[in-house]
Structure 1
Amino acid sequence: MKHRGFRYRIVCLLISLAHPVLSQKTPGDRMRIAAEMEKSIRTEMLNKWYPQAVDKEFGGFLSTFTYDFTPTGPQDKMIVTQARHTWTTAKAAERYPTVTYYKDNARHGFLFLRDVMWDKQYGGFYNLVDRKGNVKGGDMKQAYGNAFGLYALSAYYHMSHDTAALNLAKKSFAWLEKHSHDPIHKGYFQHLQRNGTPIKRDDSVPSTSDLGYKDQNSSIHLLEALTELYTVWPDPLVRERLDEMLRLIRDVITTPKGNLTLFFQPDWTPVSFRDSSEAVILKHRNLDHVSFGHDVETAYLMLEASHILGLKNDTKTLQTGKRMVDHALANGWDKTVGGFYDQGYYFKDKPGMSIIRESKNWWSQAEGLNTLLLMADQFPNDSMHYFDQYKLLWQYVLTYMIDHEHGDWYEEGLDKDPKRKTALKGHIWKAAYHTYRALTTCVDRSKSKSAGHSSANH
């Protein structure tokens, strides 16, 4: 099992805490879906991205591809994309050790992170460079992008045992600690000047801008990065920050209903437009809505962090995660063909949830698969019928999300937006990270479950 690494051990830990009466109704479905997922990973995902996304001329990875995987455009390189490619190839190198170029590709990505994306004068990762490595779009840095840099470095070190990667991961954590971490109100400042000074919001900032706010998205991916880092470097301060972020996301950012608040003032006062007119609310929708995809993703990330921290009988995190998934299924789930909608809103003068963007983006469906199967194993007899929803979602993905001709996933489901069939298959916000992580975790969880309770001993 050594090649499956950290993620596989997490799967086994999560399964070991599942309800003792595990459903035996559909073992064939579990393994059939797992086989379909494994085949798709190998023949409709990884083989399309790697090694062709490797930029052999200027380093790092190409980001932008047409619907049929033809490189296109200027190929700017964002820290998030470069880190996600590095993370994915590092994990693939562990999972498929006979495919040697995954390891080579991961090292190629690490070198670009170290030599180009890292600011050698002030520390921290630049947000965006052009294909040749020249800094673009100003020199503002973000905790979100630095979180993914840390995430990739940790995964690459786990795979390669290259101490240069661990050393840079430690430097990255220290930079975030010195500049981005808020010692007073906790959590991390998202927007930073090049020298690391947090950027404060003032009256000159447009009301639609998130500049100067703290947010759930950087917070959940800092949680994810710290989880990966703690696995390879169990430092007491890393543990403290990981525990801090888990509690902050679970107890402050997640609402009693079960959805994440998107943005906050630095003291964690929520940013809300609910008392405004519908026109004003929709104008500021990017700052204030219910994001069903983030909710189901965060349920998994919290449980992952809890287990890495070794929190015994952490029923609070488990129940919070369940509430998040239940809320998403009740309010943002297409009960006919499956799939999580993009955005919802609780208007004060309308009953219940209103769907304000019914497109179904690719990453929400990927994260939904992962978390639904997790919940199916944790609560096999629950009235939400998580495994049935998991099966429906996988059928939706097979039908409307995966491009079986050209490979990878459409950016949005074709049932809601057929034009996406010829839209870009890759860009600086879309690579293989969400889909690879979700499908491999589902496959491993399915195989562990089929092996019976002995999986808890791995």
Structure 2
Amino acid sequence: MRLSFHFVSLFRFGIYIFLASLCSCNEKEVPRTEKTDPLLHPIEASLQDLVDIWYPKAIDTVHGGFWSDFSYKWEKEGKQQKMLVSQARHIWTAATLASFYKSEKYEKIASHGVQFLRNHMWDEDNGGFFTLLGIEGDSLRILSKGKSAYGNSFAIYGLATYYKVSKDSAALHLAKKTFDWLEEHAHDSVYGGYFDVLQQDGSWMLDVTDNSKNYENFIRKNWKDQNSSIHLLESLTALYDVWPSDLVKTRLEELLVLIRDTITTDKGYLTLHLERDWTPVSLRDSSETYRSSHFYLDHVSFGHDVETAFLLLEASHVLGVPNDSITLRKAKKMIDHSLEWGWDHQVGGFYDGGYYWSANERNIVNKSKVWWTEAEALNSLLLMAQLYPEEMRYDSLFRKQWEYLDTYMIDHTYKGWYHEGLDTDPSAKKDAKAHIWKVNYHNIRSLINVIRMLRSDFPLTNDHL
């Protein structure tokens, strides 16, 4: 299937100049504030620097949507494929910036992304969004072999957030259509939760034994997983906030309880993959070679744990559960477990992953400090500091985490964030600043939330005052 474009060069240039004028890097929009916390102004400035380097640079006025690949100097290079997750994350980010800065220019950027999703990534034959498109000359070609609940969840997340700021009913309608498609195709009415790996028509892959069609994530076809589950929780939280449907509420409550009480273990970490009936998948008895090559299937992911602590509390807040002590206790346990095991006490930052060999034997398997993990940590540490002010360590750790980011993760020369902290990978200084899996929603969300918390203007902490 080919989707053709016919743009006049002058028109392209005019659109780019228009967007550039809207997003001029010289126009600083840091709101005035009287708050005196010493980190507030540096974090506000860091957010603005991050926003300025991404927009309008990432706006694709040729094919629509957003460019994906940039070098460490922010030169456009690479395949520039259009992945649903990264395109939708840009929509969410721009819409969130529009609300935060009270600025129409970011709303227009989000609208630009919504048009691309609607016109080029929605599957008119089968419903749902395609996972990946490739650029071929002036056309786009479908590259993905199947569909993903994870990817479609981010479409809902971006569309619902854009609707909240724009009141564009067409965007909300598309978010509802996506939810209905997931309900029909991905939701498991027997055991609850959702399958992530689906065929192009949305059918399950439980009985598919032949991978001659080269399906993505074929190894995970029969499983459920924490990653798609937590982001479905995130997206349905945003959708319920603007469309309080009874069914959306039911699914949101279902996911919250599943993630909190089943996917999250008693120790306080998420099981990465699970069978259809929620039996944990473990590679502990596999060979060392197999285990190492399939690390992504079974380990303790500190980044997902600290992120999920926040997402659970956010979902509880939007559901209108005041002082949800059960969820609050579990969120705290997840943060504490990550700090006790995955935190670098010397310079700060969380390691990427560890492994439990038995109840009392464990080790850090991957000491990388990945950009999105460190962003989510900043947000969750300050959240804990404000929810538990009597435990002063959280505030100290939040400040140490900011120092870590400012020293090892933020590029003060070319701007943006490295994909990994320079303390664990000095070569990251010259690695790509952006690709289809590295966008800006984790760090921009974290910085906005932290700024709001430092201004005493954050609903999750106000719930517990």
Q: TM-score scaled to structure 2, two decimals?
A: 0.87
- Residue 178 in structure 1 maps to residue 184 in structure 2: yes
Which one of 370, 373, 377 corresponds to residue 379 of structure 2? Answer: 370
* CA displacement 1:236-287 (0-9 Å, x = unmatched): 1000000000000000000001000000111111100123344443232111
Larger deviation, residues 310-319 vs 133-142: 133-142
Which one of 108, 111, 119 corresponds to residue 112 of structure 2? Answer: 108
Q: Find the counterpart in structure 2 of residue 382 from structure 1.
A: 391
Q: Residue 93 of structure 1: CA displacement? A: 1.3
Q: 1:413 to 1:101 in 2, by over 3 A?
A: same
Q: Distance in 1 between matches of 2:435 and 2:369?
A: 18
Q: Distance in 1 between matches of 2:133 and 2:329?
A: 42
Q: Residue 102 of structure 1: CA displacement? A: 1.2
- For the aligned residue pairs, the C-alpha RMSD in angstroms reads 2.2
Q: Distance in 2 between matches of 1:387 and 1:335?
A: 15
> In structure 2, the residue corresponding to 1:286 is in which secondary structure?
helix
Q: Percent identity?
A: 49
Where does 1:410-449 land on structure 2 (aligned, <5 Å)?
410-448=418-456
Which one of 257, 271, 274 corresponds to residue 284 of structure 2? Answer: 274
Which one of 296, 305, 325 corresponds to residue 286 of structure 1? Answer: 296
Q: Distance in 2 between matches of 1:379 and 1:204?
A: 52
- Higher relative contact order (CA closer than 8 Å, sequence separation 6+): 1
Q: 1:331 to 1:355 in 2, by over 3 A?
A: same
- Residue 344 in structure 1 maps to residue 350 in structure 2: no
Which one of 84, 88, 111 corresponds to residue 79 of structure 1? Answer: 84
- Residue 360 in structure 1 maps to residue 369 in structure 2: yes
Which one of 201, 222, 242 corresponds to residue 232 of structure 2? Answer: 222
Q: 1:234 to 1:246 in 2, by over 3 A?
A: same
Q: Distance in 2 between matches of 1:201 and 1:286?
A: 24
Q: Residue 313 of structure 1: CA displacement? A: 2.9
Q: Distance in 1 between matches of 2:317 and 2:397?
A: 25
| Structure 1 residue ranges without an equivalent (≥5) | 1-27
Q: 1:457 to 1:306 in 2, by over 3 A?
A: closer
> In structure 1, the residue corresponding to 2:68 is in which secondary structure?
coil
Q: Residue 314 of structure 1: CA displacement? A: 1.3
> In structure 1, the residue corresponding to 2:354 is in which secondary structure?
strand
> In structure 2, the residue corresponding to 1:129 is in which secondary structure?
strand
Q: Distance in 2 between matches of 1:207 and 1:38?
A: 39
Q: Distance in 2 between matches of 1:287 and 1:456?
A: 36
Q: Find the counterpart in structure 2 of residue 146 from structure 1.
A: 152
Q: Is residue 133–residue 144 contact of structure 2 (8 Å, CA) maintained in 1?
A: no
Q: Distance in 2 between matches of 1:147 and 1:324?
A: 23
Which one of 44, 57, 76 corresponds to residue 52 of structure 1? Answer: 57
Q: Is residue 368–residue 420 contact of structure 2 (8 Å, CA) maintained in 1?
A: yes
Q: 1:72 to 1:330 in 2, by over 3 A?
A: same
Q: Distance in 2 between matches of 1:252 and 1:57?
A: 46
Letter in 1 for 2:296: N
Q: TM-score scaled to structure 1, two decimals?
A: 0.88
Where does 1:180-195 land on structure 2 (aligned, <5 Å)?
180-195=186-201
* CA displacement 1:391-444 (0-9 Å, x = unmatched): 111000000000011111100000000000000000000111000000100000
Larger deviation, residues 309-318 vs 284-293: 309-318
Q: Is residue 51–residue 101 contact of structure 1 (8 Å, CA) maintained in 2?
A: no
Letter in 1 for 2:404: Y
Q: 1:334 to 1:133 in 2, by over 3 A?
A: farther
Q: Residue 212 of structure 1: CA displacement? A: 2.7
Letter in 1 for 2:124: K
Q: Residue 202 of structure 1: CA displacement? A: 5.8
Q: Residue 457 of structure 1: CA displacement? A: 11
Q: Is residue 201–residue 211 contact of structure 1 (8 Å, CA) maintained in 2?
A: no
